[in-house]
Structure 1
Amino acid sequence: MLARHAVRASFIAALLVCASAAAQSFDPSSLKLLQTMERKPTTLARYQYLVQKVQTLSHDDQLLALQFMAFSQAELGLYDQAVFGFPLKNALPDGFTLPTPTEWKSADAVDAITALAAQRRIVMVNEAHHDGHTRQLTLELLPRLRALGFTYFAAEALGDDDPDLARRGYPVRKSGTEYLRDPMYGDILREAIRLGYTIVPYDNALAGEAREAAQAEALYRKVFAKDPNARLFVHAGYAHIDKAPGRLGKWQPMAMQLEKLTGLVPLSIDQTDFLETGLDSSDAYHRLAHAFPSDKPEILLNRQTGQPWSARPAAYDINVILPATLSIEAFGKYKYGGRLNYEQVGLPHVIDTNEMQRAGWLTLGGKRRPYAIDAALCRGTIPCVVDAYYLGEPNDAIAADRYAFMGPTETSKLYLRPGAYRLRASDGNDRTLSESTIKIAPP
């Protein structure tokens, strides 16, 4: 059943683009929920609506709402909260057994995938849409694959309504679906453009197997039909990267259909079968992470053959295991007597402060530095979102990082590369609450 939830989530972005497609897959009450969310002016407004609405919904609509709540939390910078709130676990194959250290050894995922990609023309990496951590690997692979001669980058969240994307150099809201509002996704697009990739939108507003076929056809038409010698890097959701039916039932996944169209076998890399979804140390993910400890994304190589481990070898080539990062302190850790800068709004100088911890992977291996923020930036309006925009970029640009404050005494951190930024706090209606300019010094 959980695998079916992943299937449903895998095409959910298209529903924001075309409500008629949703009508093919959802009952009237679900469709009404989707249409109401689509009319909300901001991600924060959508999240507030779902929080108020979820308890009044039917079971199926609650599931849909919880998915969108998780997507919204990720897009608001609440990465751990998103994963805790929607702990998606795929059903593993019958008879599956975990690898053991006697037969397998750990290897750095970026280094190993780069080596394996050297002889391939198509590389595909998947993500879980509500788990921003699954976007880090693609970001790190972009320069390595570019150095191998990959020149096309396709991202599932992109749309066809922004022809100026590459010239401008950064995505804006109209560049694609809601997923792009996650700063991590924005960072992926910025890096791909900076490195000189040709950016390829390829998704559609269809559902089911028709969506898989249309995705494959778009990639073939936009890339290989024009450039038969092309090398393509694809960032997709869930089981679109599979080269055989299974996780999508009897449907032929996008990667399988692209292989038929091109005659090229993709290197397919999965991050969603073994995800950290909570603190239960007995689940398959935690047992893997305990057996093969690493502070970086890793893959497993057979000690005898050197071949990478895959839990579904017919469907994909490699499982990536991300290091454990979830912390319950993302929901708040009280520090009494802390000092917030509340003089600007006339509140007491010393109040109880609530530190909202964010995941350590947001440093991106030291490329980004923490910058302390607090709810005083909201000028008394809660909830609010604090965005850090690159200096000179407009409000509809995808922020470098963002964080949503849900309480008046909260503190947290943004994670930013060295440079100058415009810090903007806004409410659910996108009304500016405060603005300032900050600089992040090099390490």
Structure 2
Amino acid sequence: MSARAAAVVLMMLPTAAMAQDGPSKADFVAASAAGDRLDTGRYLDAAEALRPLAFDAAGKPKPGFVHDQWAELYALMTAEPVDPEPSPAEDAEAKAMAERVAGAILRDAISEIVARAAKTRVVILNENHGLPRDRAFALEVARALRPLGYSVLAAETFMVGDKGVAMSKLTKQGYPTQRTGYYTHDPVFGDFVRQSLALGYRPLSYEQTEEERGKPTGRTESIARREEAQANHLAQALAADPKAKFFVYVGFSHVTEQPIDGPDDAKERWMATRLMAKTGIDPLTIDQTILGPLMGGSNGLARRALAARTVARSVVLFDGEHPMTVGQYAGAVDLQVYHPETRMVKGRPDWLAAMNRRPMVIPAGFVPQKGERLVQAFIAGESDDAIPLDQVLLRAGEDVPSLLVPGDKPLRLVTQDPTSPKP
């Protein structure tokens, strides 16, 4: 197991511990093996390293950390979740939440973000790590913020602990590689970064280092150490460049600017809460996870209520003139985003078009005669360890989707078969 793979698993432990006791030793070994394969660009092999612990002997998913990681890896090859949306809860709390959002005023998300971002120098947007669609919206936000003077892109996933080598390389090259970060292995995330750098953003890493992680005694201390380290790094960067405006891209609860409930009704102070206290800056905090499709049954009725309103664009919810926030982050973020339901066009999600893409037919010779094959599109001239611009997973005998690529860049296509192909 490489030190980098081990560090990635350790980084994910606090999030995993939110729902369970955390990975077992076997889980840790499998996730590390997957990380090693992912670091060499072997997406199919990375997913296969997790399969034995992600599914039982009958092929049924085994809920937990490893299956969640397997699903995230597969989403890198499909751009869409592989697991079905959970059935909605029907309890009184879920019904009340649905009733609230059914009566909400809907405003265009980007317009509202721009209006509010002009009044601060820090915008924090979160993502669900299993939804590449969130990263496409992050690119929309980056584009909209740039004319306001936002020039620093700080991302939780960016590589730390290498004395800035990865960020210097990223700045110089203008595109991410397999060493840039963990979540940037996703082609959608990779192109969000690539296009943001082309707009003039400077990348900034702020994640906790291995030394700062130390050996915490449990979940609560682990989270507290990580949030404190992240907030310290961002506060230092803001102080060092007092005129710069920061777009900070995080996962899940790091976005909350007020303490939120944790296990046993204890209040937890996540990164944005600590950053406010350290800097006195009131950031614009934006959540796009609570109303997303993978957050469990508690939001299912609310999502149905919003889908029934035939939303055609990403929106934020208002109660009169005041933003409406619901669920776990109610009152702890400034805005909550709801994205319209994804439509599949020629086997690909419609939201990819917003990333300046056009369909490209996959040549017949690239289609597998048996098993699975990953077809990847790279920008010609980028290094061999660059993140693909797009990739699609093909299965023998099934319809062949299109690649979605920009129309103004020379490309090279690469195929990737699993090391141990399935029949």
Task: Look up the match of 1:363.
Answer: 353
1:143 aligns with 2:143: yes
Describe the SS at the equivalent of 1:82: coil
1:27 aligned to which of 24, 35, 38 = 24
Residue in 1 that maps onto 2:217? none
Map of 1:239 onto structure 2: 253
Q: Does 2:303 align with 1:285? A: yes
How far off is 1:164 after superposition? 1.2
Match status 1:64 vs 2:65: yes
Once the two structures are TM-superposed, the CA of residue 383 in structure 1 deviates from its matched residue by 2.1
Pick one of 189, 201, 207 that aligns with 1:185: 189
Report the CA distance between 1:126 and its aligned residue: 0.6
Report if aligned partners of 1:15, 1:21 keep a CA contact under 8 Å in 2: no
Gaps of 5+ in 2: 15-21, 214-221
2:189 maps to amino acid: Y
Could you say what the CA RMSD is over the residues aligned between the two structures, in angstroms?
3.4
Alpha-carbon distance in 1 for matches of 2:413, 2:394: 14
Q: Deviations over 1:79-105 (max 9, x none)?
A: 334353x75999999685346589632
SS state at 2:312 partner:
coil
Seen in structure 2, the aligned counterparts of structure 1 residues 131 and 19 have a Cα distance that, compared at 3 Å, is closer
Q: How many residues matched? A: 382
Matched to 2:301, the amino acid is D
Counterpart amino acid of residue 241 in structure 1: V
Question: In the alignment, is residue 212 of structure 1 matched against residue 212 of structure 2?
Answer: no
1:296-375 to 2 correspondence within 5 Å?
296-303=313-320, 306-311=321-326, 312-325=329-342, 357-364=347-354, 367-373=356-362
Does the 8 A contact of 2:99 with 2:302 survive in 1? no
Structure 2 letter corresponding to 1:233: F
Q: Write the distance in 2 (CA, Å) between the matches of 1:73 and 1:244.
A: 33
For structure 1, the 5+ residue unaligned runs are: 1-13, 331-355, 432-443
2:376 alignment partner in structure 1: 387
Tell me the distance in 2 between the aligned counterparts of 1:323 and 1:302: 20
Structure 2 distance, partners of 1:316, 1:375, is 48
Question: Deviations for 1:160-205, whole angstroms, at most 9, x for unmatched residues?
Answer: 351211111100000111x211111011111221111221111235
Between 1:61-70 and 1:372-381, the stretch displaced more is: 372-381
- Equivalent residue letter for 1:364: A
Distance, in Å, in 1 between the alignment partners of 2:224 and 2:89 is 19
Using the TM superposition, give the Cα deviation of residue 245 of structure 1 relative to its aligned residue in structure 2, in angstroms. Answer: 2.1
* Separation (CA, whole Å) in 2 of partners of 1:267 and 1:138: 14
Instruction: Work out the CA distance in 2 between the residues paired with 1:93 and 1:225.
Output: 46
Shift in alpha-carbon separation, 1:211–1:282, aligned structure 2, 3 A: closer
Compare 196-205 and 272-281 and name the one that shifted more: 272-281
Whether the aligned pair in 1 keeps the contact of 2:97 and 2:302 (CA below 8 Å) is no
1:271 aligns with 2:260: no
Task: Give the 3 Å change call, closer, same or farther, for CA 124–278 of structure 1 in structure 2.
Answer: closer
The question of 1:165 aligning with 2:170 is answered yes
Secondary structure of the residue aligned to 1:397 is: coil
Q: What's the CA shift string for 1:331-354, capped at 9, x where partnerless?
A: xxxxxxxxxxxxxxxxxxxxxxxx
- Tell me the distance in 2 between the aligned counterparts of 1:379 and 1:273: 38
Q: Does the CA-based 8 Å contact 1:110-1:137 persist in structure 2? A: no
Indicate the SS of the match to 1:123: strand
TM-score (normalised: structure 2): 0.80
1:52: Cα distance to partner? 4.0
Secondary structure of the structure 1 residue equivalent to 2:411: strand
Once residues 61 and 380 of structure 1 are traced to their aligned partners in structure 2, the CA distance between those partners, rounded to angstroms, is: 30
Q: Equivalents in 1 of 2:140, 2:92: separation in Å? A: 29
TM (norm. structure 1) is: 0.77
Q: 1:200 aligns with which of 191, 198, 204?
A: 204
The amino acid of 1:423's aligned partner reads L
Match of 2:271 in 1: 254
Q: What amino acid maps onto 1:362 in structure 2?
A: L
Q: Distance in 2 between matches of 1:279 and 1:418?
A: 38
1:339 maps to what in 2? none
Residue deviations 1:226-251, cap 9 Å, x none? 11233111111011000122255532
Q: Provide the rounded CA distance (Å) in 2 between the counterparts of 1:430 and 1:396.
A: 22
Deviates more, 1:32-41 or 1:164-173: 32-41
- For the residue of structure 1 that corresponds to 2:80, the secondary structure is helix
Bigger proportion of residues as helix: 2
Pick aligned residue for 2:386 from 373, 380, 397: 397
Preserved contact between residue 90 and residue 301 of structure 2 (Cα < 8 Å) = no
Aligned to 2:413: 423
CA contact (8 A) 2:359 2:405 kept: yes
Contact 2:136 2:189 in 1 (8 A): no
In 2, Cα distance between equivalents of 1:15 and 1:94: 40
Cα deviation digits, residues 243-284 of structure 1 (max 9, x gap) = 122255532100001111111111111111111349999622
Q: 1:103 to 1:377 in 2, by over 3 A?
A: closer
Q: Is the 8 A contact 2:101 2:317 kept in 1?
A: no
Identity %: 26
1:94-109, aligned counterparts within 5 Å? 96-98=96-98, 104-109=104-109
Alignment correspondent of 1:75? 76
CA gap 1:171/1:372 in 2 versus in 1, 3 angstroms: same
